[in-house]
Chains A and B, each alone.
Chain A
Amino acid sequence: MWNLSTYKDHTALVDEKGEVWTYARLAQAAGELAEHVPQRCLVFSLCSNSPGSVVGYVAFLNHRIVPLMLDRHVERALLDSFTETYRPCYLWLPQEDSTGFRGEPVYSAHGYTLLKRTEERPFPLYDELALLLTTSGSTGSPKLVRQSYENIAANTRSIVEYLELDVTERAITTLPMNYTYGLSIINTHLHVGASLILCPYTVMQREFWDLFAEQHATSFGGVPYTYEMLDKLRFFQRKLPSLRTLTQAGGKLLPQMHKKFAEYARREGKRFIVMYGQSEATARMAWLPADKALEKCGSMGIAIPGGRFHLLDENGLEIQTPHTVGELLYEGKNVTLGYAQCGDDLGRGDEFGGRLLTGDMATFDEDGFYTIVGRKKRFLKIFGNRVGLDETERLLKAHFPGLECACAGKDDAMHVFITEKDACAAVKEFLAEKTRLNSTAFHVLAVEEIPKNDAGKIQYAALEQYHD
């Protein structure tokens, strides 16, 4: 996947203490780890923004070992269900978290441990399968996205091209590695021999800004909520001479926020680049060039190099007229192989065939710039994470037997309607725990009854009065 030897003495990684990892060191560490995994197999990689986590990722991808990327703090019950469903042969996880897992520690380095599980019946892996990511794994669904080596290589090439990345870049991490957007930053920077500043802190911590300044970060990415936080921190007044580029993805930024950051970037001579993507398309599908950030405020731009958009009407016919709403279809080599919902699916080949119906409703203007206007599927993006509304309802019903509930809302704010007043606090707590998202995202409201039509279908429109 990466030709690390090309960039030998360049800095690949800098950790939170300022310790430098050259490409040579990264290559060596990855090689050592890979020696302990004798053949192509499935590994669960519990990710954090740390050298150990990156060493694992690089070792697995460069040696055709297939990782499922999970957050280090993944809920244990969810992890156990993934393990049961997909039967990994190894776990690569922070050493301090490794007790309490069955498996033999076969190698430890850089704060991480490789645990070998006794797995007698691993599932066959499709030859081109490179890695697995969760979709809305937080709600307990075992559904994964299957990405191929070619998907990652193609998307990496496109991103490097449009962001014009080179060896002088120093990106500071703001997103988890198991999150497709965070991973794409790692992929692209390693591809060009640039540096990654691995930061375990959030923008709300002084340590983040200290590391940013000390390590002369040139770029970072953020989901809409990151930009809300930056705005609150009066980011625009901060002197960040090393900063060149700010990217945004993981949901649609409010147009006024888009404008604020675009104006800041113009004033300060920096680039603010809004992007659009999904893990089903490896990472990125569209980008709004920095010089159009103000003029096309609110738009997510144009297809990335090598990709193409189409808009389809209700009959599946291509829309030719600007400002007409249709479902967005994307074509490109970064469209992933498909989903996995059970162990046998790991052996499946390409099912998407390079075409992805995104489920997003969009329009294009006379210049061919696309704007997302809505969503066909029932899910929200909460702090950049996809959370399925129907899945959440199922999760609640399973945990609270007899509970009547309906989930709706907008990004960063889910509204949960229940008919039992006394259960509000428990529902909120349960959702925060299950999704690992801050409980302030969940607004639980008791109503007299959940409105339904004669067929028993929930009438979500009738609930809108409560949340708009």
Chain B
Amino acid sequence: MTNEEKYTKAFMQAFDIDAENVRTLEFQAIPAWDSVGHMGLVAALEEAFDIMLEPDDIVDMSSFARGKELLAKYGITF
């Protein structure tokens, strides 16, 4: 699986949505992505990439696009 696929899958899994709706997603844009859903997303990403996200990055991960930028710090490129 490519990083792109892993990343997309984590979002799909966390919010129970289809791939086509994932890319433009932002925090609170759908009911599933509230603070509780955010905890699930963080767990899904940490598991998919075997990393531990820094608190600053957790609170900054405000959209699908922003999350990708943040993961660069952990050596994950797309």
Check: A74 CB closer than 8 A to any chain B CB: no
Check: B67 CB closer than 8 A to any chain A CB: no
**Are A438 and B32 CB-contacts (below 8 A) given A204-B38, A237-B55, A238-B55?**
yes
B39 contacts which chain A residues (CB < 8 A)?
Answer: 204, 228-229, 232
**Are A206 and B36 CB-contacts (below 8 A) given A238-B55, A432-B31, A433-B31?**
no
Number of interface residues of A (CB under 8 A): 26
Least CB distance, B10 to chain A, in whole angstroms? 14
A437 contacts which chain B residues (CB < 8 A)?
Answer: 36
Check: A76 CB closer than 8 A to any chain B CB: no
B55 contacts which chain A residues (CB < 8 A)?
Answer: 233-235, 237-238
* CB-based contact B32/A229 at 8 Å: no
* CB-based contact B31/A436 at 8 Å: yes
A433 contacts which chain B residues (CB < 8 A)?
Answer: 31
Least CB distance, B15 to chain A, in whole angstroms? 9
Q: Which of B39-78 contact A (CB under 8 A)?
A: 39-40, 42, 55-56, 58-60, 62
Check: A209 CB closer than 8 A to any chain B CB: yes
**Are A440 and B37 CB-contacts (below 8 A) given A204-B59, A232-B58, A233-B55?**
yes
Number of interface residues of B (CB under 8 A): 18
Check: A439 CB closer than 8 A to any chain B CB: yes
Check: B18 CB closer than 8 A to any chain A CB: no
* CB-based contact B58/A440 at 8 Å: no
CA of A225 to CA of B40, assembled, Å = 13
A203 contacts which chain B residues (CB < 8 A)?
Answer: 35
* Closest partner residue, chain A, to B33 (CB atom): A438
Check: B34 CB closer than 8 A to any chain A CB: yes
Q: Which of A316-341 contact B (CB under 8 A)?
A: none
CA of A227 to CA of B45, assembled, Å = 21
* CB-based contact B58/A204 at 8 Å: yes
A204 contacts which chain B residues (CB < 8 A)?
Answer: 27, 35, 38-39, 58-59
Check: A85 CB closer than 8 A to any chain B CB: no
* CB-based contact A438/B37 at 8 Å: yes
CA of A18 to CA of B7, assembled, Å = 36
Check: B16 CB closer than 8 A to any chain A CB: yes
**Are A209 and B34 CB-contacts (below 8 A) given A228-B39, A229-B39, A232-B42?**
no
Give the residue among A208, A233, A428, A438 with the most B Cβ atoms within 10 A.
Answer: A438
- 3 residue pairs, one from A and one from B, having the closest CB atoms: A438-B36, A202-B35, A204-B35
Which A residues form the contact surface with B (CB < 8 A)? 202-206, 208-209, 225, 228-229, 232-235, 237-238, 383, 428, 432-433, 436-441
Q: A225-B36, A232-B39, A238-B55 are in contact. List 17 more A-B contacts (CB 8 A).
A: A202-B34, A202-B35, A202-B38, A204-B35, A204-B38, A205-B59, A228-B39, A233-B55, A234-B55, A235-B55, A432-B32, A433-B31, A438-B32, A438-B36, A439-B31, A440-B37, A440-B40
15 contacting pairs across A/B (C-beta < 8 A): A203-B35, A204-B58, A206-B56, A206-B62, A232-B58, A233-B58, A233-B59, A383-B36, A432-B31, A437-B36, A438-B32, A439-B16, A439-B32, A440-B37, A440-B40
